[in-house]
């Protein structure tokens, strides 16, 4: 995870404090109607105890950052991230709503409005609070299976009906060694009886030690014909400071070796040919390829070398940007599977309605997309990073069936 300067942390704390002061100003106006003084004191004390405690915790954590073990550091960062969002977002919405009512002279124009103000204030503040709370404690591990059909003219007859499960962005370090959490996801995947399981990168957040104990869990994943994986941007150790390049390389090699332990074939700019009844398809996998500031380790042409003549090809590439930049421009790859975006872990997924703020950075951020005869599917991720919650963007297992 990114390391922010002390100046940036101070600016964050000042922003939290400004929002808290504005929120408290409107809170005082609303609570004037409470006749019992001790109730008001309890409300005010609770408000400032949480606010000052959060700001103090952020500053102390930043000061002591270098002395904390990476494992504990990750847990504290995600906790503070969650508390900050849980505090900041509801108060910000509360301020906006009450300010609009005030400056439009609606809420404070008559005595009847004095009854409406507390109701609107409570609704505008507490509703987002409980939505975020639900996203942290409930939605985060409510795994959802997305059923997709991909129709392709060049698919060989022997592969019609092929069953594929795609998972992505596990970020195992975020699970803090709570192995049981993934049990339900593994049962869901195995129940689908896939021919192939494809994992499209970001196994860890940064470090190989995050994988401790997970091999016995992920080895339970079952596929009839094979399990394949590629690397994501977080799997290279690029977001950590290393004392020597040897340590970074050792960390990277340990992550790559983990795939052998769980019976996944890791594709590093290479391909594999699958044959059924004398008909063939190709599975390609590239290392991470993304637009700056993300690194471009991937070599698509190298992965195509031995399978260029096969009409139906499936590409595993972590970052969906790769599809528009190289895949649809220069190849005839039928299906590309990506992840990376997490759907920003926040948005709307309701029937055919899809929206997330991440759309302003990634044109293709979730779901199935098609240009001419080429498909891209972007998985919204099974794990999480940073904010320990999912708001309208449940962790995803993708089930794809290939049709003629």
Report the alpha-carbon angle 169-172-173, nearest 5.
125
Q: Tokens 């009906």 — which residue? A: 161
The pLDDT of residue 113 is 56
The pLDDT of residue 98 is 82
Q: Tokens 């049990």 — which residue? A: 183
The encoded tokens of residue 8 equal 């940036």
Q: What are φ and ψ of residue 197, in 5° steps?
A: -120, 125
pLDDT at 124 exceeding the cut of 90: no
The encoded tokens of residue 241 equal 């400071």
Residue 35 vs residue 324, higher pLDDT: 324
Task: Grade residue 276 by pLDDT with cuts at 50, 70 and 90.
Answer: very high
pLDDT tens track for 84-112: 999 999 999 999 988 887 776 554 555 55
The pLDDT of residue 106 is 54
- pLDDT averaged over every residue in the chain: 92
The pLDDT of residue 2 is 56
pLDDT at 355 exceeding the cut of 60: yes
Nearest of 208, 221, 222, 302 to residue 256 by alpha carbon:
208
The pLDDT of residue 70 is 74
Nearest of 138, 221, 139 to residue 187 by alpha carbon:
221
The encoded tokens of residue 272 equal 């594999």
pLDDT tens track for 126-146: 889 999 999 999 999 999 999
pLDDT at 220 exceeding the cut of 90: yes
Could you give the CA distance from residue 298 to residue 232 in angstroms, rounded to a whole number? 10
3-state SS, one letter per residue, for 38-98? HHHHHHHHHHHHHHHHHHHHHHHHHHCHHHCCHHHHHHHHHHHHHHHHHHHHHHHHHHHHH
- Please give the average per-residue pLDDT across 48-58, as a whole number: 93
Rounded percentage of the chain residues whose pLDDT exceeds 90: 76
Task: Grade residue 164 by pLDDT with cuts at 50, 70 and 90.
Answer: very high
- Please give the average per-residue pLDDT across 244-259, as a whole number: 97
Could you give the CA distance from residue 30 to residue 44 in angstroms, rounded to a whole number? 12
pLDDT at 246 exceeding the cut of 80: yes
CATH superfamily of 144-403: Metallo-dependent phosphatases (3.60.21.10)
The pLDDT of residue 110 is 56
Domain ranges of the chain: 6-137, 144-403
The pLDDT of residue 119 is 72
The pLDDT of residue 140 is 95
- Say how far residue 203 (Cα) sits from the centre of its chain: 12
pLDDT at 221 exceeding the cut of 70: yes
DSSP conformational letter for 4 = P
Task: Grade residue 31 by pLDDT with cuts at 50, 70 and 90.
Answer: confident
The pLDDT of residue 3 is 64
Rounded percentage of the chain residues whose pLDDT exceeds 70: 95
């Amino acid at each position: 995870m990114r390391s922010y300067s002390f100046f940036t942390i101070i600016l964050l704390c000042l922003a939290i404090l400004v929002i808290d002061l504005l929120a408290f100003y409107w809170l005082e106006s609303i609570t004037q109607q409470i006749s019992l003084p001790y109730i008001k004191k309890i409300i005010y004390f609770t408000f400032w105890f949480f606010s000052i405690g959060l700001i103090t915790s952020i500053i102390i954590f930043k000061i002591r950052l270098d002395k904390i073990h990476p494992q504990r550091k990750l847990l504290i960062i995600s906790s503070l991230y969650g508390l900050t969002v849980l505090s900041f977002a509801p108060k910000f919405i509360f301020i906006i709503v009450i300010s609009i009512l005030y400056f439009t002279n609606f809420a404070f124009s008559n005595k009847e409005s004095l009854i409406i103000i507390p109701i609107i204030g409570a609704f505008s503040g507490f509703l987002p609070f409980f939505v975020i709370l639900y996203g942290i404690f409930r939605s985060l591990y409510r795994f959802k299976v997305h059923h997709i059909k991909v129709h392709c003219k060049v698919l060989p007859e022997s592969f019609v009906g092929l069953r594929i499960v795609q998972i992505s962005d596990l970020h195992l370090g975020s699970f803090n060694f709570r192995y049981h959490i993934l049990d339900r996801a593994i049962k869901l995947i195995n129940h689908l009886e896939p021919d192939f399981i494809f994992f499209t990168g970001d196994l860890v957040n940064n470090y190989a030690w995050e994988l401790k104990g997970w091999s016995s869990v992920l080895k339970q994943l079952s596929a009839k014909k094979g399990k394949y994986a590629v690397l994501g941007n977080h799997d290279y150790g690029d977001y950590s400071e290393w004392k020597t390049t040897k340590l970074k390389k050792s960390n990277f090699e340990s992550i790559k070796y983990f795939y052998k332990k769980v019976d996944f074939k890791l594709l590093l700019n290479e391909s594999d040919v699958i044959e059924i009844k004398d008909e063939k398809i190709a599975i390609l996998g590239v290392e991470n390829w993304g637009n700056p500031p993300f690194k471009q380790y991937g070599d698509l042409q190298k992965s195509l070398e031995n399978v260029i003549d096969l009409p139906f090809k499936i590409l595993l590439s972590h970052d969906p940007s790769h599809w528009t930049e190289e895949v649809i421009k220069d190849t005839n790859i039928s299906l590309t599977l990506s992840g990376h975006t997490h759907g920003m872990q926040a948005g709307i997924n309701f029937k055919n309605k899809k929206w997330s703020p991440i759309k302003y950075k990634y044109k293709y951020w979730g779901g199935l997309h098609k240009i001419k005869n080429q498909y891209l599917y972007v998985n919204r991720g099974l794990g999480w990073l940073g904010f320990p919650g999912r708001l309208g963007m449940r962790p995803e297992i993708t089930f794809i069936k290939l049709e003629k």
